[in-house]
Amino acid sequence: MNLPFSQPLDKITYGALAAATVIILTWALREFVGIDLPAEVQSALVVIFGYVVSYHIPLSEVEVEAIARKYYRNYK
């Protein structure tokens, strides 16, 4: 996607952080508690949590305005 700014959207950043957190939590479960989740379950949890967090984080006002200016000619 050709966005009007170079940094990632907030929702993408938070989704990636949520996915990384799930990976660390599954590692901690294995190392400290002894619960070993199959790789398929770990992958599914990463995708699910990353998506849910990304979906629920709204675009910031700056992001909305920049996207609107780029794609809608009559915007302000």
Q: Which run of H or E residues covers position 68?
A: helix 61-71
DSSP 1-65: ---SSSSPPHHHHHHHHHHHHHHHHHHHIIIII-----HHHHHHHHHHHHHHHHHHSPPPHHHHH
At 60-71, the pLDDT tens digits run: 888 888 778 777
The pLDDT tens digits of the residues spanning 1-35 come to 565 566 677 888 899 999 999 999 999 999 999 99
* Mean pLDDT of the region 42-66: 88
Residue 43 has pLDDT above 90, yes or no: yes
Higher pLDDT, 26 or 75: 26
